[in-house]
Amino acid sequence: MPIEILTIPCLSDNYAYAIQDSETGEVAVVDAPEAAPILRALSFKGWGLNQILLTHHHSDHIDGLDLLHQAVAAPIVGARADANRLPALELAVGEGDAFALGTQPVHIYDVSGHTKGHVAYYFPDGNAVFTGDSLMVMGCGRLFEGSAELMWDSLSKLMELPPETRIYSGHEYTASNAKFALSIEPENKALIDRARQISEARARGDDTMGPTLALEMATNPFLRAALPEVKAGLGMQGASDVDVFAEIRRRKDNF
Ligand code: ZN
Ligand code: FE
């Protein structure tokens, strides 16, 4: 395996991630909701810390940064577009940029919509993408700063990644997302099966991160707005993809 990924629960339902390049042992952490669980996880694994990767400016993703950075002064990477409201960045990145974690290439996607200047970190060799509050497992982030069109564009970019790509998002919202998904597509067989697996996983206390993009595209209503059967189910035959996406997002806001 080219990378090892550790999912680190923080606050009430946030996740940070630690990613180790297996070849060099270099480690990146994605987001810093709080420092203590991250430092505990790193020391449990005996890992150092070489990079801190920020997805977006919200406090539940950066509030642990000061303490984390005091403990290990690793360089901070974040969106150039958000540099004015993020802590000082050693590396400011935007759409199409790339850097490396040890031997692992990391590609940047601008996935604005939840906020403007939200980025996702894609590890093509490691087959994983860290999406923060853009694409979420079985859902997507609320539109706080961007339009439905901007989020739909962002999700559409992520849908172009290889189907076997694994999705790691910023929160454990999957069980309630699955309930909502069933309200949109009550007869989607793959969704019914997955909703059952999710409640079993949560009952065991397991996290639900790391599903494949293929599974998300079969079950996440926000990735299915372009499908004729989804449009028909909403009574929106002939509507544009983005209008259907906006309607699904509206319904979720009121669910
Ligand atoms: Zn957020
Ligand atoms: Fe968040």
**Residue 252 above 90 pLDDT?**
yes
Q: What is the pTM (predicted TM-score) of this model?
A: 0.98
What band does 1 get if pLDDT is binned at 50, 70 and 90?
Answer: confident
Rounded to the nearest angstrom, the distance between the alpha carbon of 56 and the centre of ligand 1 is 7
For the sheet with 14-21, list strands across it: 3-10, 14-21, 27-30, 51-53, 76-79, 91-93
Indicate the pairing of strand 3-10 with strand 91-93.
Answer: unpaired
How large is the average pLDDT for residues 197-201?
98
Catalytic one of 21, 56, 57, 118: 56
Residue 187 pLDDT class (50, 70, 90 cuts): very high
pLDDT band at 3 (very low <50, low <70, confident <90, very high): very high
Beta strands in the chain (DSSP E): 3-10, 14-21, 27-30, 51-53, 76-79, 91-93, 98-101, 104-110, 119-123, 128-132, 135-136, 139-140, 166-169
Residue 36 CA to ligand 1 centre (angstroms): 20
Residue for token pair 């990735």: 223
Mean predicted confidence (pLDDT) in 166-187: 98
Query: 114 alpha carbon to ligand 1 midpoint, in Å?
Result: 7
Give the chain's domains with CATH numbers: 3-253 (3.60.15.10)
Note the pLDDT tens digit of each residue in 27-82.
999 999 999 999 999 999 999 999 999 999 999 999 999 999 999 999 999 999 99
Inter-residue contact 20 to 36 (CB < 8 Å): no
